[in-house]
Structure 1
Amino acid sequence: MARAIVIRSNPAYERGSDQPVNTAAIEEVDEAFLGDDPVLVEVSHSSINYKDAMALTGLPGIVRKTPLIGGIDLVGTVKESADPNWKPGDQVILNGIGMSESRNGAFSELARVPGDRLVALPESMTAARAAAIGTAGYTAALCVLRLGHAGLETTQDRPVLVTGATGGVGSVATLLLAAAGHHVAALTGRPGELGGYLHELGAEQIIDRAELLDAKGALQKQRWSGVIDTVGGEVLVNALAQTVYSGTVAACGLAGSPKLPGTVMPFILRNVTLAGVDSVEAPVEARREAWALLAELPGERIDAISSTVPLSGAFQAAKDLMGHRLHGRVVVDVRA
């Protein structure tokens, strides 16, 4: 038996009501509940991402089947394996692949997972730090790599912009870009409260989110050499309108809105590229490249943006994240 956070459909929910779609609670589950994937992992750590927060608070749009174990980030040690690429004792990382959506996730002391998307835990990284990075950091690394492949070059006058910079993706993206020597501008809705935090991550400029909500015009002053956007909506539209000629905008989130209420002008008159970044179905080669980049981050920088809760603390952390009371990363110590 293993302790796990199990998400079940809420019989009290009716469309249009204020009841959550699903409920979540810690239960004891047997191995049969875990499924039949070839690799059995003893999970040590997971983390709280935006998707996790939505799933644990019962919001619609994430969980596609129930009952289901939550948690989209897994760090642990292989206990059994029918996959020849992995053996007992291997320390592994797994992010995305539909965990906590259509397949069981990592808020469990044991998890059965496919072997073809597993990545070996870098030797220089602890399990807790890998979980602190999690899907958010892994997504950030994919975005940074996408801009790098596009030839990103920054100056003080034309930095790279990171939107939603105090969130998980934004925090790690800021760290990675600054560590690579780029000039970084960080966008936040709370510049007075969190500006110091962003400067500590390496941001040179703090931009009030209102600037990209109030801006108008299909083409605006060219300000950004590139952009990593986690927000979507008006923020993304205005970021595109302010990106330099031939610049690239890596879009990976919709924390503000899934809409794109803009025009094609930045694309056809400034040669701007809008590059989508998906972390859920990314091939294993991309995952390895992302984690190799993340392994270069100093451990103390990861510690500075993370906190840890036990498995039972995941519920409150999810509420705090949805209530915009958290910044940085929250690690879940699954065995605590």
Structure 2
Amino acid sequence: MAQEFKALLVEQPEKKVFTRNIVTRSVDDLPEGDLLVRVHYSSLNFKDALSAVGNPGVTRNFPHTPGIDAAGEVVECSDGSFTPGDKVIVTSYDLGMETDGGFGQMIRVPSKWAIKLPAGLSLKESMMLGTAGLTAAMSVQELIENGVTPESGPILVTGATGGVGSIAVSILAKAGFSVTAATGKLDETDYLKGLGATDVIERAAVTEGSEKPMMKTKWAGVVDCVGGETLAAVLKSTNYCGTVTCCGLVGSPELAVNVFPFILRGVRLIGIDSVEAPMEPRLKVWQKLASEWKLDNLAAMVDEITLGGLEEKIQAILKGGLKRRALVNLLDS
């Protein structure tokens, strides 16, 4: 008899109508793949919320289990890449989009999507980080590889109370940088300073004067999680030969900027993609997150929930009201 497990299942009973329920599923319901994993923890991302409400830009085929993050123990691996009992992290690629994801107690995926849990991290800690942590770490790594050092000057993080932003603030502070956190939620100032921010500014301060072709230089580097007008403004206000990383579009996917920052100040703009990124850079930053960048304040960034708590958090993240990352405990669900 096929093994059964609990999962959040999104179904489409009629056009433009989507339901979400915790159901019992069978391993036989899962897609084909080399690797069967018993999921211990997952985390909620904005993309998961979009999948849960039927956004066709994320998921088109239903019934479906969202969850772009998963960490757990290997049950079976048909190609020998892993052995039963190995602890693994699975993020990105198609997980939780068209492939049933981490909001189920079991997943089956291609083995090439998984990495062994680095020594120094627990499965729980890995999902406190999740895709948000991976993206933040990749952003910081790009700043460093492009010559930005703590001595270069302050680093700006936009959208600093979000999942990627808050972890980026913490990693940068851990690495010795002076961090300015920009946010539309100044009531979270104490929280951001607790994560390591030296200064906290209102997001409007970032774009003030951005109608000008160029702005006064302020930042040695920027981790931008917003896009749109904010990204255009930070490009205009980054120091000579500074680096800006871009990983978000909550402000806008459009970028209205001239070439002056690039040809007059040598500013570098680097896009961060954690979905299809090769394994080598993934492994490098996961190893850092388990060692020199291991964060002491991870628990302060998350609220732990079970599958039953997902609906409330999904609605909150869609309304921009989620104040902490949601860690999903599948063991207790």
Shorter-chain TM range is over 0.9
How far off its partner does 1:236 sit? 0.5
Q: Which runs of 5+ in 1 are unaligned?
A: 14-19
Q: Which of residues 100, 107, 120 in structure 1 aligns to 2:116?
A: 120
In the TM superposition, 1:179-328 aligns within 5 A as 179-191=174-186, 193-216=187-210, 217-296=212-291, 297-298=293-294, 300-328=296-324
Do the aligned partners of 2:65 and 2:104 also contact (CA within 8 Å) in 1?
yes
Partner residue in 2 for 1:11: 14
Q: In 2, distance between residues paired with 1:203 and 1:155?
A: 16
* Letter of the 2:221 counterpart: G
Partner residue in 2 for 1:16: none
Partner residue in 2 for 1:25: 21
Do the aligned partners of 1:311 and 1:335 also contact (CA within 8 Å) in 2?
no
Distance 1:119 1:183, change over 3 A: same
Do the aligned partners of 1:168 and 1:327 also contact (CA within 8 Å) in 2?
no
Partner residue in 1 for 2:67: 71
How far off its partner does 1:298 sit? 4.6
Q: Which of residues 327, 330, 335 in structure 1 aligns to 2:326?
A: 330
Moved over 3 A (4+): 57-60, 297-300
Secondary structure at the counterpart of residue 147 of structure 1 = helix
Partner residue in 2 for 1:104: 100
Q: In 2, distance between residues paired with 1:328 and 1:82?
A: 38
Q: In 2, distance between residues paired with 1:240 and 1:150?
A: 15
Do the aligned partners of 1:125 and 1:299 also contact (CA within 8 Å) in 2?
no
* Letter of the 1:262 counterpart: V
Report the count of equivalent residues. Answer: 327
Per mean C-alpha deviation after superposition, the further-off stretch among 50-59 and 306-315 is 50-59
Alignment TM-score, normalising by the size of structure 1: 0.93
Do the aligned partners of 2:47 and 2:58 also contact (CA within 8 Å) in 1?
yes
Q: Which runs of 5+ in 2 are unaligned?
A: none
Per mean C-alpha deviation after superposition, the further-off stretch among 39-48 and 121-130 is 121-130
In the TM superposition, 1:27-176 aligns within 5 A as 27-155=23-151, 158-176=153-171
Do the aligned partners of 1:65 and 1:101 also contact (CA within 8 Å) in 2?
no
* Letter of the 1:260 counterpart: L
Secondary structure at the counterpart of residue 297 of structure 2 = helix
Do the aligned partners of 2:231 and 2:255 also contact (CA within 8 Å) in 1?
yes
- CA deviation vs aligned residue, 1:70-104 (integer Å, no higher than 9, x gap): 10001000001112220000000011112222222
Q: In 2, distance between residues paired with 1:44 and 1:152?
A: 37
Secondary structure at the counterpart of residue 116 of structure 1 = helix
Q: In 2, distance between residues paired with 1:283 and 1:250?
A: 18
Q: In 2, distance between residues paired with 1:137 and 1:48?
A: 12
Q: What is the RMSD of the two structures over their aligned residues, measured on CA atoms?
A: 1.6
Q: In 1, distance between residues paired with 2:239 and 2:328?
A: 40
Q: In 2, distance between residues paired with 1:84 and 1:245?
A: 49
How far off its partner does 1:194 sit? 0.5
Q: In 2, distance between residues paired with 1:66 and 1:5?
A: 12
Q: In 1, distance between residues paired with 2:113 and 2:243?
A: 28
Q: Which of residues 151, 173, 179 in structure 2 aligns to 1:178?
A: 173
Q: In 1, distance between residues paired with 2:67 and 2:249?
A: 19
Q: In 1, distance between residues paired with 2:213 and 2:149?
A: 24
Q: In 2, distance between residues paired with 1:308 and 1:177?
A: 25
